[in-house]
Chain A
């Protein structure tokens, strides 16, 4: 943000770390423990005092409560939290090259690999239990608290900084929309990773900053999701994805009453949304957003096709390029999708820009993936593609790499990209049908897919 845009007095504005609430309000459920607000503040302030001043944090905690403590302790101490889009080995090495003084926060012995690490769980266990609760920390609205990364199209992750003031504003807008759908704040259970924007906002920030209850478990199998849900106090809220949701419903397991459900990361079919609402007797809210923008709109797909922007977000389109600004946004940002504004803050989603892809809630771009494939030794030409759309869509890739085995190529790719982006199948060809400008025409790519990739119906 440029100084010109900020009112001079804004630089001095501070916000309380947590919103107003009673000291004994429940903030989190962790294992068999109920964490009340005064304990949460006490623990995070004590941890903050033990963080190395000024060094960026890479929070690799696998436990959602530990992760939240590390994030909020970093905010108090002024440490920037780095949230890479992938924790693949090569990606973390590149991150360390850009942030040589980064320190990992972990709660196990192996996640940090060779990077310098602080064991948050050990620090936590060593805290005195009877310390007084400190005053609520006041955080400058302009303080950069988190840096999220998008894959970019050039092979270099692009950083996006989030300031505390904007993050709080974004979560408040989400909380208003979400809790008005559920009838009030809920205990929030998530099946999604909280190191990514959607899980971070909806399973960590929404409960902690939006008056709900953070629930530490990360259930994955439908039976575990059902069991953890049943353990929560009512009202309950489930944060999930179309893929997890379809699987949960298909399992036929009985599910405890929920006040609402949240879905994001991939388009939710209206039929699945209606089925889910009918089975669970609760509203299902879908979120629209991206790493750069955070959440900017919602809809209830069982009832409506149109999206409703969060308060104060403005949308404007120039041809196929659409931009949003206002609200919590740090700048005017281009959307990764083609959308059609309707009226009253509503819009229709028409489609994605071709380059962006999203598999199981993880975002990347074909440009980035192609780059990663092409830089492997022995790969002469290569092209990723998405043979079909849908919740379980998988990428495929064509390579020209005489003498290389699929195993070698996949091993090289795994160093750089998340496993969900590995091509399935990886097809070896003699050459790719590039035209005079070096591009592969869409029709040629279609023909290549039809010729080489057979799929189950």
Chain B
């Protein structure tokens, strides 16, 4: 895909994840479609996700809720997380 409507937000969220989790990767190196959760990509796990969810709630003014049976679907990729935030943010 080319540039997305949430590109600026994606960069902001990538930086937030790296900072919140003290990761040893450059935020700029995280691609929009890279997997965040699970065995590929960034490899975040369930503990990281609660940590990021807390930071998201403080920064964007809404509480994360699972959209589906899969609690971690929101964290499928940077793009999916940014899209979720864009749709629910209050600040």
Q: Which of A220, A425, A455 is most buried by chain B, counting CB atoms within 10 A of its CB?
A: A220
Scan A189-233; emit 1 where CB is below 8 A from any B CB, else 0.
000000000000000000000000000001111111001000000
Query: Is A328 an interface residue, CB under 8 A from the partner?
Result: no
Instruction: Name 8 extra pairs, CB < 8 A, besides A223-B65, A247-B50, A247-B54.
Output: A221-B50, A221-B63, A221-B64, A247-B51, A250-B54, A360-B45, A420-B46, A422-B45
Residues of chain B within 8 A (CB-CB) of A154 are none
Query: Is B26 an interface residue, CB under 8 A from the partner?
Result: no
Q: Is the CB of A410 within 8 A of B43?
A: yes
What are 29 A-B pairs with beta-carbon distances under 8 A?
A219-B71, A220-B50, A220-B71, A221-B50, A221-B53, A221-B63, A221-B66, A221-B71, A222-B54, A222-B63, A224-B66, A224-B71, A243-B47, A247-B51, A247-B53, A250-B54, A251-B54, A253-B63, A359-B47, A360-B47, A392-B51, A410-B43, A411-B39, A414-B39, A419-B38, A420-B45, A420-B46, A425-B24, A456-B22
Task: Give Cα distance in the complex from A132 to B12, angstroms.
Answer: 60
Residues of chain B within 8 A (CB-CB) of A253 are 63
Query: Is B4 an interface residue, CB under 8 A from the partner?
Result: no
| Residue ID in chain B nearest A222 by CB atoms | B63
Residues of chain B within 8 A (CB-CB) of A456 are 22
Q: A218-B71, A420-B47, A425-B24 are in contact. Are A223 and B64 (CB under 8 A)?
A: yes
Q: Is the CB of B47 within 8 A of A220?
A: no
**Count of B residues near A, CB < 8 Å?**
21
Q: Which of B22, B39, B47, B54 is most buried by chain A, counting CB atoms within 10 A of its CB?
A: B47
Query: Is A235 an interface residue, CB under 8 A from the partner?
Result: no
CB of B21, distance to nearest CB on chain A (Å) = 9
Task: Give Cα distance in the complex from A425 to B22, angstroms.
Answer: 10
CB of A252, distance to nearest CB on chain B (Å) = 9
| Residue ID in chain B nearest A243 by CB atoms | B47
Query: Is A152 an interface residue, CB under 8 A from the partner?
Result: no
Report B14-68 residues with CB < 8 Å from chain A CB.
22, 24, 38-39, 43, 45-47, 49-51, 53-54, 57, 63-66
Residues of chain A within 8 A (CB-CB) of B54 are 222, 247, 250-251
Query: Is A244 an interface residue, CB under 8 A from the partner?
Result: yes
Task: Give Cα distance in the complex from A425 to B63, angstroms.
Answer: 30
| Residue ID in chain A nearest B65 by CB atoms | A223
Task: Give Cα distance in the complex from A253 to B51, angstroms.
Answer: 16
Q: Which of B50, B54, B57 is most buried by chain A, counting CB atoms within 10 A of its CB?
A: B50
Q: Is the CB of B43 within 8 A of A419?
A: yes
| Residue ID in chain A nearest B57 by CB atoms | A251
| Cβ-defined partner of B47 (8 Å) among A250, A392, A414, A425 | A392
Task: Give Cα distance in the complex from A244 to B71, angstroms.
Answer: 14
Task: Give Cα distance in the complex from A218 to B68, angstroms.
Answer: 11
Residues of chain B within 8 A (CB-CB) of A294 are none
Task: Give Cα distance in the complex from A17 to B2, angstroms.
Answer: 59
Task: Give Cα distance in the complex from A360 to B46, angstroms.
Answer: 9
Task: Give Cα distance in the complex from A224 to B67, angstroms.
Answer: 10
| Residue ID in chain B nearest A455 by CB atoms | B22
Residues of chain A within 8 A (CB-CB) of B64 are 221, 223
Task: Give Cα distance in the complex from A246 to B51, angstroms.
Answer: 11
Residues of chain A within 8 A (CB-CB) of B43 are 410, 414, 419, 422
Residues of chain A within 8 A (CB-CB) of B69 are 62
Residues of chain A within 8 A (CB-CB) of B47 are 243, 359-360, 392, 420
| Residue ID in chain A nearest B49 by CB atoms | A220
| Residue ID in chain B nearest A410 by CB atoms | B43
CB of B51, distance to nearest CB on chain A (Å) = 8
Residues of chain A within 8 A (CB-CB) of B63 are 221-223, 251, 253
| Residue ID in chain B nearest A406 by CB atoms | B24
Scan A376-420; emit 1 where CB is below 8 A from any B CB, else 0.
000000000000000010000000000000000011001000011
Q: Which of A223, A360, A414 is most buried by chain B, counting CB atoms within 10 A of its CB?
A: A223
Q: Is the CB of A227 within 8 A of B65?
A: yes
Task: Give Cα distance in the complex from A359 to B63, angstroms.
Answer: 25
Task: Give Cα distance in the complex from A420 to B54, angstroms.
Answer: 19
In the A-B complex, list the 4 residue pairs whose CB atoms are closest, starting with the nearest: A223-B63, A220-B71, A419-B45, A221-B64
CB of A409, distance to nearest CB on chain B (Å) = 12
Q: Is the CB of B22 within 8 A of A220?
A: no
Q: Is the CB of B66 within 8 A of A220?
A: yes
CB of B60, distance to nearest CB on chain A (Å) = 13
CB of B64, distance to nearest CB on chain A (Å) = 5
Task: Give Cα distance in the complex from A253 to B46, angstroms.
Answer: 20
Task: Give Cα distance in the complex from A174 to B15, angstroms.
Answer: 45
Residues of chain A within 8 A (CB-CB) of B65 are 221, 223-224, 227
Task: Give Cα distance in the complex from A392 to B54, angstroms.
Answer: 14
Task: Give Cα distance in the complex from A42 to B53, angstroms.
Answer: 41
Residues of chain B within 8 A (CB-CB) of A410 are 43
Q: Is the CB of A244 within 8 A of B45?
A: no
Task: Give Cα distance in the complex from A253 to B62, angstroms.
Answer: 11
